[in-house]
Amino acid sequence: MKKNFVIIEGDGIGPEVTRQSVRVLRSIAERFGHEFEFTYCLMGADAIDKTGNPLPDETIEACLNCDAVLLGAIGHPKYDNDPSAKIRPEQGLLKLRKSLQLFANIRPINTYPSQHHLSPLKSKNLEEVDFIIFRELTGGIYFGKKELNEEGTRASDECVYSKEEIERVAELAFQYAQKPGRRKKLTLVDKANVLETSRLWRKTIKETAQRYPDVSVDYMFVDNAAMQIILNPKQFDVLLTENMFGDILSDEASVLSGSLGLLPSASVGKGSILFEPIHGSYPQAAGKDIANPLGSVLSAAMMLEYLGMNEEASQIREGVNWTLHNGFVTKDLDPVNFYFTSTIGELISDYVIGKIPGSVKKEYIELRKSTII
């Protein structure tokens, strides 16, 4: 198969984790006889530094004309700490989501038994956790009118949703709930006791549900959902929610897996597809080769799956499981006995070409372990 991927490494740890995914993708191409081309584009703080624009037009153009986009991370503390900054790295990501019409962001949440000890939750509450968050991505308060009065003393962010915007993401979530292996349950998370937009969400979901009679639907207020994700995460199958609630709940849900660094995501919509780990740019770790590349590598696996390369995606996931199971993990998962970002990428790469477990010697891997012990 011939595919053209746009790679946006972005900021902070983005470049170093994405490099591992590209390495794994090259191994997949080699093993399965595919031809993968990679076009590198700028976005975020990196793009502001180089061009003055967080999302140059060439990046949009390339993304519109490729098979899929793989993104690292966006954000830099020099902007976070400057509320008056007019140009911000995140504007690049939000504009890209809008330009590519990526209205659904899909974030699978599962746990790995070998990492249960890292979660603040008890193991018994983590077994069988397997749910997926469908977050609306191009509407709501993120994209509403923003105002600040001249004196700088009053600000507002408008939250707007249309029925059509709700319907199109809901359709995808319902279809997902029907897939083999799912439990055919959809939970809409909203704040319908307070917000008009949430009442529109509820009304629209009730209508959509009639077209999916085999899917059972329940409704939960977002404050309660935040609590239920910690108290009883097993109860969720497909969780559907609006943009901001989805942003917050997916970071919360990541603690179930033990690290934010483990979770991938897919953004889809009217044609273009984009994949990115759910973690941010983690500037404190940038350039140190200690960040967890698995969120990005698993995003690459989701990307191949979306393009119909199921066996290739499974091969990557097997490689990831192999590293976790054998204790080859980065600092976020084991702060004392950890391996470098690049070592994990290399191991998964070797795994997918079939070099592991046979020819890779454990002592050889040991050499690339951190030296702090």
Q: Which residues are catalytic?
A: 142, 191, 223, 247, 251
The total of other beta-carbon atoms located within 10 Å of residue 116's CB is 19
| # residues contacting ligand IPM (CB under 6 A) | 6
> Judged by CB under 6 A, which of 25, 93, 170, 249 binds ligand IPM?
93
C-alpha distance from residue 339 to each of 72, 257, 293, 330, 336 (Å): 20, 19, 11, 5, 9
Structure tokens at 50: 């180089």
Nearer to ligand IPM, 246 or 319 (CB): 246
Residues engaged in binding Mn ion (CB under 5 A):
247
SS3 content of the chain, % helix, strand, coil (to 5): 45, 15, 35
Residue type (1 letter), 35: E
| φ, ψ dihedrals at 277, nearest 5° | -65, 155
The option from Mn ion, ligand IPM, none interacting with 334 (CB < 5 to 8 A, set by class) reads none
**Nearest-angstrom CA–CA distance, 228 and 236:** 9
Nearer to ligand IPM, 94 or 353 (CB): 94
Q: Which residue is nearest to ligand IPM (CB)?
A: 90
Supply the minimum distance, in Å, between the C-beta of residue 37 and ligand IPM: 26
The option from ligand IPM, Mn ion, none interacting with 109 (CB < 5 to 8 A, set by class) reads none
State which of positions 5-44 bind ligand IPM (CB under 6 A): none
Burial 210-233, CB ≥16 within 10 A → b, else e: eebeebebebbbbeebbebbeeeb
> Judged by CB under 6 A, which of 55, 68, 74, 132 binds ligand IPM?
74
For 178-244, strand residue ranges (E) read 185-190, 216-221, 238-241
Nearer to ligand IPM, 244 or 360 (CB): 244
Supply the minimum distance, in Å, between the C-beta of residue 263 and ligand IPM: 10
Which residues here bind ligand IPM, judged by CB under 6 A? Answer: 74-75, 90, 93, 247, 278
